[in-house]
Chains A and B, each alone.
Chain A
Amino acid sequence: MNQTALSYRYDGTFDGLMCCVFESYMKKELPTEILGPDAVEENLFGAKNILTNEANAQRVLRSIPAKIGHEAYDLVQLAFLTCLPKKELAILSFLRQGYHYGPRIMGFAGNETLYRLTEAVKHLQKEAHLLKGFIRFSIHQNVLIAAIGPKNFVLPFLARHFSERYPDEHLLIYDENHHMALVYRPYESAIIPMDEFRAAPPDKEEAAFRALWRTFYDAIEIKPRHNEKCRQTLMPKRYWKYMTEFAASTECVEITQHSTAFRPHPPVPATGKRRSGPHGL
């Protein structure tokens, strides 16, 4: 196997990454880095551009449940949403080992790559779970609007959760770290790129409910039991700036760039369960 410093560059999509796997497999080579579309390369010889080709991506995708199992398939899809540094390389490395060992790999409790991916996915799921609670909507012209700043790409999880919770509402969640937004209207949702975002002041009703919530938040604390450390461990400070109970600055948000295009987004794999989805067997 050729191991001299080799870089891949891909378009940043999941299919693109699958094509990197394809390339690595067909050429029997192992890149030392896989760069996203905007990453700066350090490799003097330049990166090899991997073009995204749906047919190749599909071949790889189909091979995962067939050769390594559904659990591995879910893991890889979820790992792609995480903020794990160099997640692309880790996924590639995991898949190569998976093709070698088969489904047994999922039981290798001491495997470094598997461990890193599993931990990253746990972190992703934890953040998604926290945000299901911590997100605060403002109601603006009868649309539910919220902003978040998560480390992981959690919007697909939130899409499922909130479209179920508020089936008859219109809602928008803007992820200002990834510059993407989840938009939902009855009964369809989409995750779309969105880079601009402007705060609009709350109307009277909205302001009144925010004030009521702060009143309740304050009243519910048992003051002789105040425990700042505990609060911050359970609810890290980086979430606070988006939450009504802390920020006078949690202003209502308004989108300046309207995008009405509804594009379907890939479903979040339901981990642990066997599914037959578009890629299922």
Chain B
Amino acid sequence: MELNEKLRILGDAAKYDAACTSSGTDRKGSRGSMGSAHASGICHSFAGDGRCISLLKVLLSNACAYDCAYCVNRRSNDVPRASFTPRELADLTMQFYRRNYIEGLFLSSGVIGTPDNTCEKMIAVLRILREEYRFRGYIHAKAIPGADPILIRHLGLLADRMSVNIEMPSSASLTRLAPNKTKKAILAPMDYMSQRIEENSRDLVRYRHAPKFAPAGQSTQMIIGASPETDYHILKLSEGLYRRYGLKRVFFSAYVPVVPHPLLPGADTPPPLWREHRLYQADWLLRFYGFDADELLDEEHAALHPYLDPKCHWALRHSGLFPLEVNRASHEELLRVPGIGAKSAWRILQARRACPLSWDALEKIGVVMKRAQYFLLCRGKRKPGLETRRNTLLAAMMSERERKRYLLESGEVQQLSLFEQETATFLSARRELESLPLPL
């Protein structure tokens, strides 16, 4: 098969993996080798769907021996199959890298016979890159569930980031939709990798030249909307993974119906992009804003709000905590104000040391005043001329898209081709908005 055709098939087969960042490692280039890595990551292009392209994201092979229902590459699906040889893929990576198309390689694979065999082939690719071509760019490798820990360890010593995808947010869904995988087989490499990463960071303190195991940490992915788990369940699980295994990222991937299957949403179901977006927002609050999953949702309110982002929603439900004096509020408090991001919170702390802040200064610092004005006092005073009518305030909390949804759907909920369950969510969300004790 021609290389171009292989690349088309194996790029296409890998594209449902959401993780494509090249962040987390800082490695300078060095003479006699090629490449470097940047802690903040670099996007080299954006695909037609708006996602960042940073890495050459391909499968080594899509000829998979397993039969996971939600996956295009399942054994029982009739699609063209292809495999790269390790040399082919290593060469392609180098050529792309040299032309600055990519930041490095994202290597995953269907199960080629057995997990061990797959892992060995992947190691072969990375060895050519790292040892023969002295490639110092970014490498993300997927750990294959069920592979021998020794192989996982080997892979981890060659890669910057490792991940193993949970895919299904509960073991019930896993059994139902991925019969060849078990929760244990997935969590075992995760656990193993988290121990290696931790052990390694201790070694590195002691010996500066200890070989690095996945220096950019590990991540995972869950598919959203292929199985019935709630947002609350998913967030609790993510929180647990961050805490227990020290994951760097949990990615969410809205399920795109790729194969007809009785247990899965039908082919005309649009991918739940909105939900995916909300989960990322909530995930951000967990990681950088000091929120707990239980503060955002609970068993009774298990879905993220369709019209308000999780931070605005939280703030409106806790209006008793506001307004805050911006010149005195603590860092933690500032972080919880809608319209104040991590950067602007930090800059407020810096700037108010020089002199008490004014409304004007807040704006220059980068605070989104449209939102923040409702939650702040500046030198003891409310913002002059603040419009506190219910609808003005609600509109200010919403993005343009959210506003459109909210207005569009008022009274016309029936017209939208939503699932019943979703309609119920929307209705109760609307009712909640109407009953919030506003103005603040």
Question: Which residues of A are at the interface with B, using a C-beta cutoff of 8 A?
Answer: 104, 107-110, 115, 129-130, 132-139, 144, 146, 164-169, 186-187, 209, 211-213, 215-231, 233-235, 243-245
Contact = CB atoms under 8 A, between A and B. Distances in A.
Contacts of A245: 45
A144 to B, nearest CB: 7
Given A211-B4, A231-B50, A217 B33 contact: no
Given A109-B361, A110-B358, A221-B15, A212 B4 contact: yes
B52 A234 contact: yes
A217 B53 contact: yes
B81 interface: no
A215 B29 contact: no
A108 B351 CA distance: 7
Given A217-B45, A226-B48, A164 B36 contact: yes
Contacts of A146: 100
Given A107-B351, A217-B47, A228-B48, A164 B28 contact: yes
A209 B95 contact: yes
Contact of B43 (A133, A217, A219, A244): A133
Contact of A225 (B4, B49, B350): B49
B253 to A, nearest CB: 9
B274 interface: no
A218 B3 CA distance: 15
B166 interface: no
A174 to B, nearest CB: 15
A107 B8 contact: no
Given A107-B350, A164-B36, A245-B45, A219 B12 contact: yes
A225 B29 contact: no
17 contacts: A107-B354, A109-B354, A133-B45, A137-B100, A144-B99, A209-B96, A211-B4, A213-B101, A216-B7, A216-B8, A220-B15, A222-B47, A222-B271, A230-B46, A230-B50, A231-B48, A231-B49
Most buried by A among B31, B35, B364: B364
Contacts of B31: 167-168, 186-187
Given A137-B100, A165-B35, A212-B3, 19 more contacts: A107-B351, A109-B365, A129-B42, A130-B43, A133-B54, A136-B99, A168-B34, A187-B31, A212-B4, A216-B8, A217-B45, A220-B47, A220-B51, A225-B49, A234-B43, A235-B45, A235-B46, A244-B99, A245-B45
B132 interface: no
A221 B270 contact: no
A234 B50 contact: yes
B299 interface: no
Contacts of A165: 29, 34-36
Interface of B: 3-4, 7-9, 11-12, 14-16, 28-36, 42-54, 56-58, 92, 95-96, 98-101, 103, 254, 256, 270-271, 273, 347, 350-351, 353-355, 357-358, 360-362, 364-365
A221 to B, nearest CB: 4
Contacts of A219: 7-9, 11-12, 15
B49 A243 contact: no
A227 B29 CA distance: 35
Which A-B residue pairs are the 4 nearest by beta carbons?
A230-B50, A107-B354, A219-B11, A109-B361
A223 B47 CA distance: 10
B100 A226 contact: no
B20 to A, nearest CB: 9
Contacts of A137: 98-100
Contacts of B361: 109-110
B24 to A, nearest CB: 16
A138 B96 CA distance: 10
A109 B364 CA distance: 7
Contacts of A218: 8
Contacts of A138: 99
A168 B31 CA distance: 6
Given A109-B364, A109-B365, A215-B7, A225 B28 contact: no
A122 to B, nearest CB: 10
Contact of B49 (A144, A215, A222, A244): A222
Most buried by A among B29, B58, B256, B347: B29
Most buried by B among A165, A217, A227, A228: A165
A132 B42 contact: yes
Contact of A220 (B53, B347, B354): B53
A158 B52 CA distance: 21
A130 B46 CA distance: 11
Contacts of B103: 133
A228 B49 CA distance: 7
A129 B41 CA distance: 10
A121 B383 CA distance: 30
A229 B48 CA distance: 9
A232 to B, nearest CB: 9
A234 to B, nearest CB: 5
Contacts of B58: 216
Contacts of A167: 29-34
A130 B52 CA distance: 12
